Chains A and B, each alone.
Chain A
């Protein structure tokens, strides 16, 4: 086993439930590298939603809550406000975060509560067998959109920025080094940090949406669809059509929620 795995994985939970070629393992290892470089193993409070991606924290040997579909953020909120110095990190899927948990997501952004939410976007419901997700493209064929998806997808990062998140980044599972950096920035960011990771799901997205593409082909497909934020700045609208921007998309410092609570209640309260 890789030394990082030796150091940080919960051995008795292995092997993982991830399918061969799944991007979740890449995200897990990029995260462990960030944890190691920051040396914050003891301060971590991990929360996983329900879905394949919600399993990521189960394998990490740190304090972990594996909770209900869509509700990871409210559980994490309870953990954060009881001890604001905790490094709270949530792992969630695109369905978990944006469909069933969409309301919790936008309100956590609005509060600017100090936690990191990592959303793995495979554009489909992985765990339940390939149904349409709020991130599935228009016309995408899935197990519940056999004639093509009639709905438009969410842009999760734009939603996060519009809702008040103060750190927003998007990368892909083909950018492990940038992901590690983003994890470190997000964890140290004093406010609500959101990282979207575009990732490959050969088992569902590959099979139903992409005509049977395997993991390397899917990853190539994902990378072909993205463009770095800096490069995008010099591209024409025609060149940008259909491209998704990656990088640190938004960063600002605004009063964090538990700090606001402390400031407001310290005078009158006590």
Chain B
């Protein structure tokens, strides 16, 4: 047990998960991740590189992943924007990698030292073309550790870039963290020796394993739409569509197994706060305060943001009167919530400017939505 920042917890989580390569470029409020990686990685036989920019960083990460090691990068706002072409490449070539976004306020240089949750849709849709990613959203330093480990595991299982959507508050708040060296770690799956085709999915729709370069497989890894051998098929609409559909469905068809939510007081809840990341902290306090006053409020906190657990939330929405969505942005995840809310009232609680919601703000919203009565 140590008292450390969320950023440090991400580093320790990555190392426990087997990360042995990090490439990055300094930016507030993510810099501590690079700084600590530069110290820690050589101690475990890994490599740290400070690259010339963020796109170079993510490209080096992808190269390292095909080089045979687990790899990640970390950045914030402008740097994450620069990475996007590489993120799409990783999605298309099914390269496991982890991207930590310690979110700050935007757009442009924005608010370097203040938190936001403004980049969540960029994580999902930031690169060009159709693809799907996975994104986890820690609320505390402990979760920065736990969910970074999870991000690496998911990247290996699903062969997909996975985002850790942290923010300035999670990144910089010092808290007690149990750096459990015994957590479950998914090793890189080895390819079969016979009849291996790099892009032929197994019966489960996932790729059968991933060799590194120079292991005798003579891989062709290409950002073009490709067939099972890796050869381009961009001219073939059917083969191209098949690949893009599989890239999306390998994630979207597994929502249930990927769902990771914390649910509190939902048995009799009438108003449920749907939350994630830092804004889940005041949300939790607000719900505790509501319960003390006998107000039937509950929490639905997403630890995995994408794929979005639409069915699970829709089922909940049928039993409650209102869903409240506090976010440090203009109202982004609330769009997903509205999509599945059915008859439940949806209240968006946007917070801009780099400040966290106060528990009172959320409590007030809970009481007023329940006071309004009826549907």
On A, residues with C-beta under 8 Å from B are: 10, 12-13, 42-45, 47, 58, 61-68, 71, 73-83, 86, 103-104, 107, 261, 265, 268-270
Contacts and interface: CB of A to CB of B under 8 A. Distances in A.
B223 A67 contact: yes
B214 A83 contact: yes
Contact of B67 (A13, A58, A82, A268): A82
A12 B53 contact: no
B278 interface: no
Contacts of B217: 63
Q: Sort A-B residue pairs by CB-CB distance and give the 10 closest, nearest first.
A: A78-B63, A269-B42, A82-B67, A265-B42, A78-B64, A74-B59, A74-B56, A78-B60, A75-B63, A63-B213
Given A74-B63, A78-B62, A269 B220 contact: no
Contacts of B85: 68, 71
Contacts of B64: 78-79, 81-82
B66 to A, nearest CB: 6
A58 to B, nearest CB: 7
B2 interface: no
B244 to A, nearest CB: 18
Interface string B222-256: 11100001011000000000000000000000000
A258 B86 CA distance: 24
Contacts of A77: 23, 49, 51, 56, 59-60, 63
Given A63-B219, A66-B220, A107-B56, 16 more contacts: A13-B232, A63-B218, A64-B219, A66-B221, A67-B62, A68-B85, A68-B223, A73-B56, A74-B57, A74-B60, A78-B21, A78-B61, A78-B63, A82-B20, A82-B47, A82-B64
Nearest to A85: B214
A81 B49 contact: yes
* Range of interface residues on B (Cβ < 8 Å): 35 or more
Interface of B: 20-21, 23, 42-43, 45, 47, 49, 51-53, 55-57, 59-69, 71, 85-86, 89, 212-214, 216-224, 229, 231-232
Given A43-B214, A75-B63, A103-B52, A261 B47 contact: yes
B56 A71 contact: yes
Contacts of B47: 81-82, 261
A68 B59 contact: yes
B43 A75 contact: no
Given A75-B59, A75-B62, A78-B60, A270 B42 contact: yes
A26 to B, nearest CB: 23
A19 to B, nearest CB: 17
A43 B212 CA distance: 12
Nearest to A59: B220
Most buried by A among B59, B63, B85, B232: B63
Contacts of B52: 103-104, 107
B67 A67 contact: no
Contacts of A66: 220-224
B123 to A, nearest CB: 19
Majority DSSP secondary structure for residues of A touching B: helix
21 contacts: A10-B220, A13-B231, A63-B219, A66-B223, A68-B223, A74-B59, A77-B49, A77-B56, A77-B59, A78-B21, A78-B71, A79-B213, A80-B63, A81-B67, A82-B63, A82-B67, A82-B212, A103-B52, A103-B53, A103-B56, A104-B56
B76 to A, nearest CB: 20
Contact of A268 (B20, B42, B216, B218): B42
A47 B223 CA distance: 12
A71 B54 CA distance: 11
Contacts of A265: 42
Nearest to B60: A78
B66 A79 contact: yes
Contacts of A43: 214
Contacts of A42: 214, 216
**A58, A71, A74 pick with most chain B CB within 10 angstroms:** A74
A44 B42 CA distance: 26
A73 B217 CA distance: 22
A127 to B, nearest CB: 13
Given A74-B55, A76-B63, A78-B62, A67 B213 contact: no
Given A71-B86, A268-B42, A78 B67 contact: yes
B177 to A, nearest CB: 24
Contact of B89 (A58, A68, A83): A68
Nearest to B215: A63
Contacts of A270: 42-43, 45
Nearest to B23: A78
B52 to A, nearest CB: 4
Contacts of A107: 51-52, 56
Q: Which of A65, A77, A80 counts the most B-chain CB atoms under 10 A from its CB?
A: A65
A21 to B, nearest CB: 23
B222 A82 contact: no
A183 B346 CA distance: 65
Contact of A79 (B45, B63, B216, B224): B63
A75 B49 CA distance: 13
Nearest to A269: B42
Given A10-B220, A75-B60, A65 B55 contact: no
Contacts of B63: 47, 65, 74-80, 82
B210 to A, nearest CB: 12
B51 A81 contact: no
